[in-house]
Amino acid sequence: MAGGAHRRAPDRLGERGADEERRRAGPGAGGARRGGLSAPGFARSSSCAGTARASGRLYLMSTLRSVAPVFSTSDLGRWLDHYRALGFAVERYGDEYGFAVLDGVELHVAVNPDHDPRRTAGCAYLHVDDADELYARWSAAPGGRAIPPVDASYGLREGAQIDPDGNLLRYGSPAAG
């Protein structure tokens, strides 16, 4: 499997057992359902948590641990300086890649000489403890644009920060009340 995401598990049922399990599952059970979508030939095993069955073979599923969006910039130094001003610890990796980390949130950035904020800017949503406190901190930082938090109809208080490359960090905390 690509990137080592799945490891082959011993098939204790054997091919005959896998065929029997598919037969018991009935028609239409040939795909895993996720958000109303089905992946043909891939089904979660009913007998093992954290496993999946694809083409009659049993695989252990990797556990997702975190996500790190990769933003685009035309100027790596400017991007790193901006995120440092927001309070992130930043690190350059060569001349074309960088990282920013704050409170366990990790952002990546790649230099794109053809970066156009209307076409290649990115977006990430951050769940925070206090949107107003974060706005106060981030609005004092130079560069970019801070958008004050407002109460949304779905119970969150949300604000945003737009960096100099047009990348958007939306954030929200539970609304008071």
Ordered domains of the chain (ranges, CATH): 2-61 (no CATH), 70-174 (3.10.180.10)
Mean pLDDT of all residues belonging to the chain:
79
Give the pLDDT score at 49: 52
Alpha-carbon distance 54 to 50, whole Å? 13
The pLDDT of residue 151 is above 60: yes
Residue 33 confidence (pLDDT): 36
Q: Which residue reads 């990137």 in tokens?
A: 3
User: Which pLDDT value is given to residue 90?
Assistant: 98
Asked whether the beta carbons of 137 and 122 are under 8 A apart, the reply is: no
pLDDT digit string, tens, across residues 66-93: 999 999 999 999 999 999 999 999 999 9
Compute the distance between CA of residue 127 and CA of residue 42 in angstroms, rounded to an integer: 32
Per-residue pLDDT at 87:
97
Q: What is the predicted pLDDT for the residue at 50?
A: 59
Strand order in the sheet with 168-174: 123-127, 168-174, 156-162, 145-151
The two tokens of residue 144 are 């970019």
Query: Cα(120)–Cα(114) distance, rounded to whole angstroms?
Result: 9
156-162 and 168-174 strand pairing:
antiparallel
More confident site: 64 or 9? 64
* pLDDT tens digits, 101-149: 999 999 999 999 998 988 889 999 999 999 999 999 999 999 899 999 9
CA atoms within 13 A on the CB side of 155: 2
pTM over 0.95: no
Residue 90 to residue 109: CA distance in whole angstroms = 11
Of 22, 5, 10, nearest to 56 (Cα)? 22
